[in-house]
Amino acid sequence: MVTDFIEPGSTEVPPLCNLGFLYPAVFTSAELHTRDLLQLFVCGSLKSKLWSSASPAYDDLSRPRDSNGHTCVGCVLVVSVIEQLAQVHNSTVQASMERLCSYLPEKLFLKTTCYLVIDKFGSDIIKLLSADMNADVVCHTLEFCKQNTGQPLCHLYPLPKETWKFTLKKARQIVKKSPILKYSRSGSDICSLPVLAKICQKIKLAIEQSVPFKDVDSDKYSVFPTLRGYHWRGRDCNDSDESVYPGRRPDNWDVHQDSNCNGIWGIDPKDGIPYEKKFCEGSQPRGIILLGDSAGAHFHISPEWITASQMSLNSFINLPTALTDELDWPQLSGVTGFLDSTVGIKKKSIYLRLWKRNHCNHRDYQNISRNGASSRNLKKFIESLSRNKMLDYPAIIIYAMIGNDVCNGKSDPVPAMTTPEKLYSNVMQTLKHLNSHLPDGSHVILYGLPDGTFLWDNLHNRYHPLGQLNKDVTYAHLYSFLNCLQVSPCHGWMSSNKTLRTLTSERAEQLSNTLKKIATSEKFTNFDLFYMDFAFHEIIQEWQKRGGQPWQLIEPVDGFHPNEAQPVLMRGVRITSKGTRRVPTPPTNE
């Protein structure tokens, strides 16, 4: 039997965020079923990841971020959208808030939550915006943004014509009788409830360890798309049997069942030969595995979510899926994506190209990427990689920690950068782990780091989506705002300080040379080792040949991550290791 090879592009998402998040006391322990617990957890904790997802890496991924900084960014963003919706539609602030909520989907109870937030904060926001206070002033007045003693004032928009101190005092007078100012911004952690502790811990570990939350047989593969499910690694075809999963060698040529989930099993009645043997024997199937950061996971915030002039009922259709995928889109990534590109480029992901050459590779992909990942913290989730030396096919592993070893949001980012010596140690530890898990005949490719000076050079004087309507916010303003709050994904490159940008690029080059040294000097028993430059200049040239502009290769909302087009354009760049040579390509088997 040969089943359909095309991976379904399911948009199914869990029905999260019921009103238990807002009123947890109404539940008893008997009423809190697993689905309800999942709802409560995602609503209570995932919202805090909206802006921390793209934050700089730390040695410990579980280390708390500057939550006040991310709260401030989120507030300024939302208030900006409300103000601009009123401007675009020539409506009242009240009407613009209701319009925004009407655009949000019912899934995850996003629409309901929006209306409840309006009920709580709307009155004060209306008063302040009606008094011509901008988003910075509104958020400082409502104490979502705070200027601590001795710290600089962080603002996205140009300062008011009157002094900041006078403007803020005036704004506080407007809402001085508001009961909302007594409301604790910290809130309470829903997972602190005893009845929720265990399930919350399970979901937290699933996300931190990069394994599927819904995985009945614990084989690290799932039938569910998000929460580290098959958007991230091949879809399980039997979640009740741990011996059945993508990428394994067939069990007895899959005469009785599809043990490797490639859709091929059974016996051809014409000649009695198993289909798996007939189609796949000698075809050298290979899986593709990415060890990456937010770029590899394809971190993406849609411009439509924050651009008032583009907003409609269709703008937020994919928001629930994005939230349960940590604002990543691995199903569209340049390495493991299984859906067609949305940017008009015909070239496919590496996985789809391997699949096209050999359909026996169906579903054999793993995206082991994390927002904030680096060589320092990969050891915390590399165990989520699924490969058995004896039972599985060889794989091509791409190591692409392309940013966070030099990127962080600290006020002085240089001391926190990974040194070449430390990178050598970290990468060797990773390679030794791979050598103990990968089947013989595998290949490992080390990606170098890019020269991120491109960001400032091409974006700093362009208007950010939030500034396009009134021509008041450039990427230089955004970078300064994020750096001030110490929540920038990369202070070193997203900075007006040319010396700092140069130092960051110099360190990135040192780290790339270290990776190249490892590839040319180290040998391992179970895989060949290669090195690939992050040839950004070649990517730009290819993009310009297609009529594009360099700045279009960067995610417009965060002004940092490569967009969907950039990884796809990297095909064909030569890989070097002990001279220039290509990774061996398995034979075509279409």
Catalytic residue numbers read 294
Q: How far is the C-alpha of 274 from the C-alpha of 2, rounded, in Å?
A: 11
How remote is the C-alpha of 468 from its chain's centroid?
25
- Check if the beta carbon of residue 111 is closer than 8 Å to that of residue 105: yes
CA dihedral 286, 287, 290, 291 (to 10 degrees): -90
DSSP state of 219: S
Q: How far is the C-alpha of 77 from the C-alpha of 420, rounded, in Å?
A: 38
In this structure, the strands spanning 527-532 and 442-447 are parallel
For residue 273 the two structure tokens come to 């030969």
Question: Looking at beta carbons, which pairs linking 207-216 to residues 24 or more positions away fall under 8 Å?
Answer: 207/326, 208/61, 208/62, 208/380, 208/381, 209/380, 209/381, 209/383, 209/384, 210/368, 210/369, 210/370, 210/381, 210/384, 211/384, 213/38, 215/239, 216/240
User: What residues form DSSP beta bridges with 365?
Assistant: 288
Q: Classify 48 as helix, strand or coil.
A: helix
Q: How far is the C-alpha of 404 from the C-alpha of 381, rounded, in Å?
A: 16
For residue 523 the two structure tokens come to 């040998």
> Is residue 461 classed exposed, middle or buried when 0-12, 13-18 and 19+ CB atoms within 10 A define those classes?
exposed
For residue 262 the two structure tokens come to 């490639």
The closest of 386, 391, 359 to 284, measured between CA atoms, is: 359
The string of DSSP letters for 380-443 reads GTGGG----TTTB--EEEEEE--STTT---SSS-GGGSPPHHHHHHHHHHHHHHHHTTSPTTEE
With b for 16 or more beta-carbon neighbours within 10 A and e for fewer, the 152-188 pattern comes to eebbbbeebeeeeeebbebbbeebeebeeeeeeeeee
Q: Within 10 A of 384 (CB to CB), how many other CB atoms are there? A: 19
